[in-house]
C-alpha cells in the first residue's frame, strides 16, 4: 500500500512537470516551431534554413525596461560568437511597430530584428513574459528558455552558447 502511494505521487510529479513544460509553447529538447519573417534589412529568414547555426531568439517589446537593458548584451553575444555560427534574432511582439522602431533608434544593433505584427509567432511560442529568450541548437532543437531578464543573464546565455558550440 505504501509503495502504491509513493508511485502515485511520483506519477503526479512527472505529470505536473510535463504539463509545465508544454504550457509555454516550446519544450526543451523538442524542435523549435518553424517560422519565416522579414528582418529590418528586408531579408526573409526561415528558422529551419538556419540549421547548422545556433539561434538565440529574443522576444521583446518597446515598453519593456528589462528588454532595453538586454539589447546591448544580445549585441555583444552576437559580436563575440557570430564567427562560430551564432545568430541573434530579436522579435518585437507589438502589433504597431513604430514604437519598436523608436525604441531601436538610439541603440547600435546589427543583429536581425523582426516584427511579429500579427502576434502569430508570439502565440506559437506562447510568449508570456518580456523578454523571453529561446536558444535553438544547430539541429533546430530548443535547448534553453529564459523568461525575463536580470543582471547576470548575459553570463547564462554565454555559458549556454559555449556549451552548444562545443557539441
Question: Which domains are assigned to the chain?
Answer: 28-166 (3.40.30.10)
Residue 85, judged by CB atoms within 10 A of its CB (0-12, 13-18, 19+), counts as middle
Whole-prediction pTM:
0.83
Distance CA(33)–CA(130), nearest Å, equals: 19
pLDDT digits over 17-75, tens only?
A: 333 334 446 889 999 999 999 999 899 999 999 999 999 999 999 999 999 999 999 99
Quick one: pLDDT at residue 53? 98
Cα–Cα distance for residue pair 76/73, rounded to 1 Å: 5
Across 109-123, average pLDDT: 93
Amino acid at each position: 500500500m505504501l509503495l502504491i502511494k509513493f508511485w502515485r505521487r511520483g506519477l503526479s510529479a512527472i505529470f505536473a512537470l510535463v504539463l509545465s513544460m508544454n504550457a509555454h509553447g516550446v519544450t526543451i529538447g523538442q524542435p523549435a516551431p518553424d517560422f519565416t519573417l522579414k528582418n529590418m534589412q528586408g531579408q526573409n529568414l526561415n528558422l529551419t534554413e538556419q540549421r547548422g547555426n545556433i539561434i538565440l531568439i529574443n522576444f521583446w517589446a518597446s515598453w519593456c525596461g528589462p528588454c532595453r537593458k538586454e539589447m546591448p548584451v544580445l549585441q555583444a553575444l552576437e559580436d563575440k560568437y557570430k564567427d562560430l555560427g551564432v545568430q541573434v534574432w530579436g522579435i518585437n511582439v507589438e502589433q504597431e511597430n513604430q514604437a519598436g522602431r523608436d525604441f531601436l533608434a538610439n541603440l547600435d544593433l546589427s543583429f536581425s530584428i523582426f516584427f511579429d505584427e500579427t502576434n502569430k509567432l508570439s502565440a506559437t511560442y506562447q510568449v508570456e513574459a518580456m523578454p523571453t529568450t529561446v536558444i535553438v541548437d544547430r539541429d533546430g532543437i530548443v535547448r534553453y528558455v529564459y523568461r525575463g531578464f536580470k543582471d547576470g543573464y548575459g553570463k547564462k546565455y554565454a555559458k549556454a552558447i559555449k556549451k552548444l558550440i562545443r557539441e
